A and B are shown apart, each in its own frame.
Chain A
C-alpha cells in the first residue's frame, strides 16, 4: 500500500549576515570584497566577520588584486560554464572562493587565467551574489 506525504516550507529568507551585508554593499557599488585577517595574514572568500583560523574578529575588507579562474566545468544541462573563482590579496592566494558562471566568447580558457566580473546595471543590484552576471577573461 502506498503512502505519500510531503515536507514543505513555502518560503525561506536568508539574510546574508553582517559580513554579507558589507559584501553586498560592495557588490552594489560594483566592487568585490574579500575579508582579511591581519593576524593570520590570510584572506577569506566569501568574506566572514571572523577568522575561521584564529576565531578573532576581522575588521579589514579589501578588493582583491587578482581574480583567477580555478577548476571549471561545462554543464550538460544548460551549456553554461560553472567555475570556482579564486582571488589574490596582498600577493597571496585567498582561502576559499566563489562559484559563479564564466563566459568566454571563444577566448582561451584554462585554470590560472585572469578574470574580471561583469555586473548588472547599478539600479538592478540588490547586494547579493547574483549582482554579478558572470566573469570573463580579463581584456
Chain B
C-alpha cells in the first residue's frame, strides 16, 4: 500500500487562525468560525475570493444543537457559492479536516482551500458529557448506564497494568502541558500545578482523576492550504504537508488490545511512508499528539513509534518531551492546557506545528531547530487515528 503516491500538486499551509478556547463563548457558532478563518486569511494575506473550496469539520450536531449543522453554518465558513464539504470523525476531525483539505489541493481540483473546525459544547445543559452517553452501542453498552470516562479509565488502567506505569509518571504529562499552555494566547486552563495536585484531585473513575482530563470547551480554528505555485506567490515560507495518514479500528473496543493504540500505528505508518520517514524517533523533530487525558499522550507516543512500548513514561520523566528536550511533545500545552473543543482541538495542534516550523510560537518555540513536525488527533469510540506531517 502507498508504494507510490501520485500527486498533482504539493500542498502548503500559508496561514492559520484560532479563537480563544473557553468553557462558554458568547459568539454564535458561525461567528466563531468566521473569527478563526479571518485570522488565517489575514496571516496568508488572502481574501475569501482567493479561496476555491471550503472544508468544515465539526463533531456531533448534538453539541451545537443544530441539525445538519454544517449546512446551517455554511455562511460562517465563507462557503457562499463555493464547493463545500463537511467531514467528521469525532475528536479526530481537527486533523482529518486538514487531510480532507489536502485532498482537494493535491488532486489538482482546487488551488486553495480554507479548512475550518469548530465546536460549541456550551449549548448542552447542564453538562455536555451526557451527550457522550449516546455514542455507545445502544444494545450492548448503553443499558449498563455507561459514562464516557469509563472507557478511558479502563484503557488507562490496562496500560498501567501491562507496562507497570505509575500514576505519578502519568501525572507529569498534565503538569508539563498545563505549564506549556501558560504561553499560549488561546489557553483555557493553563497553570502551574504539581504531581501532588493531580493525585489529590477528585477521583471520577479510578484511575482517572479530575486533573488528568482536559476541559470542556468552545472554540474554532482554521488553516489556509494552497498548491505549490500559489504558495510561492503568497509567502517566502510555505510549510509543506508531506505526509497524511488515517486509520479506523473496530467499534467493538472491548475486543481490542487496550494497551496499544493500533489505530494510530497504522495511521502513522501511512503518513511516514508518504513522507519518506523510516525512523520516526530520529526523523520527527517534535510532535503534537492528542492528549484529552494525560495517559493518552504516552499511549499515542508509543502508537506513533516515537517511543518503544512502555517507554514513553521514561522519556517524560527524563525531560525528553519538554520544550528544550530532544523530542518536544505538545509544546502548545495540548488539550490538557489549551482546551478541548472536540473538533477544533486537532486543528489547534496542526496550527501549532505550522507556527513552530515558521518560528512564530514566541515563548512556546522549542529550543532545537525544527524541520519536521507531526500533528495527530484521535476520536470516535476510541477508534480513529489521524496524522499530518509537515516540513519546512
> Interface of A with B (CB < 8 Å)?
3, 5, 7, 9-21, 48-50, 52-57
Which chain B residues border A19 with CB–CB below 8 Å? 28, 31
> When the two chains form the complex, which single residue of B26, B49, B142 contacts A17, counting CB atoms closer than 8 Å?
B26
A-B contact pairs, 26 of them (CB 8 A): A3-B138, A7-B62, A9-B62, A9-B65, A9-B125, A10-B125, A11-B125, A11-B126, A12-B124, A14-B65, A16-B28, A17-B27, A18-B26, A19-B28, A20-B28, A21-B26, A49-B27, A50-B38, A52-B75, A53-B80, A54-B47, A55-B37, A55-B47, A55-B48, A55-B78, A56-B47
**Contacting pair A14 B47 (CB below 8 A):** no
In the complex, chain B residues 20-36 whose Cβ is within 8 Å of any chain A Cβ:
26-28, 30-31, 34
Which chain A residues border B1 with CB–CB below 8 Å? none
B134 at the interface (CB under 8 A from A): yes
> When the two chains form the complex, which single residue of A7, A21, A53 contacts B134, counting CB atoms closer than 8 Å?
A7
CB distance from A14 to the nearest CB of B (A): 6
B161 at the interface (CB under 8 A from A): no
**Contacting pair B142 A5 (CB below 8 A):** yes
Known pairs A21-B26, A55-B34; list 14 more (Cβ under 8 Å).
Answer: A7-B134, A9-B65, A10-B125, A13-B122, A16-B28, A17-B26, A18-B28, A19-B28, A19-B31, A48-B75, A49-B27, A50-B76, A54-B47, A55-B38
Which chain A residues border B48 with CB–CB below 8 Å? 54-55
Which chain A residues border B78 with CB–CB below 8 Å? 55
**How distant is the Cα of A18 from the Cα of B41 in the complex, in angstroms?**
21
B163 at the interface (CB under 8 A from A): no
B139 at the interface (CB under 8 A from A): yes
> Interface of B with A (CB < 8 Å)?
26-28, 30-31, 34, 37-38, 41, 47-49, 62, 65, 75-76, 78, 80, 122-126, 130-131, 134, 138-139, 142
**Contacting pair B26 A12 (CB below 8 A):** no
Which chain A residues border B37 with CB–CB below 8 Å? 55
> When the two chains form the complex, which single residue of A10, A14, A56 contacts B123, counting CB atoms closer than 8 Å?
A14
**Contacting pair B34 A49 (CB below 8 A):** yes
CB distance from B39 to the nearest CB of A (A): 12
CB distance from A7 to the nearest CB of B (A): 5
Which chain B residues border A13 with CB–CB below 8 Å? 122-123, 125
Task: Please name the 8 residue pairs, one residue from A and one from B, whose CB atoms are nearest each other, closest first.
Answer: A17-B28, A55-B48, A11-B125, A52-B75, A12-B65, A50-B34, A55-B78, A5-B138
Residue in A closest to B24 when the chains form the complex, CB atoms: A15
**How distant is the Cα of A54 from the Cα of B131 in the complex, in angstroms?**
36
**How distant is the Cα of A82 from the Cα of B47 in the complex, in angstroms?**
38
CB distance from B75 to the nearest CB of A (A): 4
Which chain A residues border B122 with CB–CB below 8 Å? 13
**Contacting pair A18 B31 (CB below 8 A):** yes
> When the two chains form the complex, which single residue of A5, A9, A49, A50 contacts B130, counting CB atoms closer than 8 Å?
A9
Which chain B residues border A57 with CB–CB below 8 Å? 38
**Contacting pair A49 B31 (CB below 8 A):** yes
**How distant is the Cα of A9 from the Cα of B49 in the complex, in angstroms?**
39
**How distant is the Cα of A12 from the Cα of B66 in the complex, in angstroms?**
10
Which chain A residues border B130 with CB–CB below 8 Å? 9
Which chain A residues border B131 with CB–CB below 8 Å? 9
**How distant is the Cα of A49 from the Cα of B32 in the complex, in angstroms?**
10
